[in-house]
Amino acid sequence: MNEIVIPMRRIVQELQIFAGCVLAALLVNVYSILRFNTGWMELLTTLHITLALACVFFALVALIRCVAFWGRLALRRKAG
């Protein structure tokens, strides 16, 4: 049975993408705090919701990346 080896470069890339998703979710939270004039304590009290939103963002980014990969693959096969 073969072992699957994930290169460190790929792991770092995925962590950077997830960090960007967390940052985007935090910015959405900050926007909602400013928009609805609530307390800044909500950044901590809604952290679980922010992390869930980051996971949703990450899934959406993964879906977009898969569609782009399939599109490039189809174009390569069509050209070659």
Whole-model pTM: value is 0.85
Give dist(CA 73, CA 52) in Å, integer. 31
How confident is the model at residue 78, as a pLDDT? 76
- On the question of pLDDT at 8 being above 90, the answer is yes
- Reported as a single tens digit per residue, the pLDDT across 9-30 is 999 999 999 999 999 999 999 9
pLDDT at 52 over 70: yes
Asked whether the beta carbons of 71 and 39 are under 8 A apart, the reply is no
pLDDT value at position 30? 97
DSSP-assigned letters across all residues of the chain = -PPP---HHHHHHHHHHHHHHHHHHHHHHHHHHHHHT--TTHHHHTHHHHHHHHHHHHHHHHHHHHHHHHHHHHHHHHH-
Residue 34 confidence (pLDDT) above 80: yes
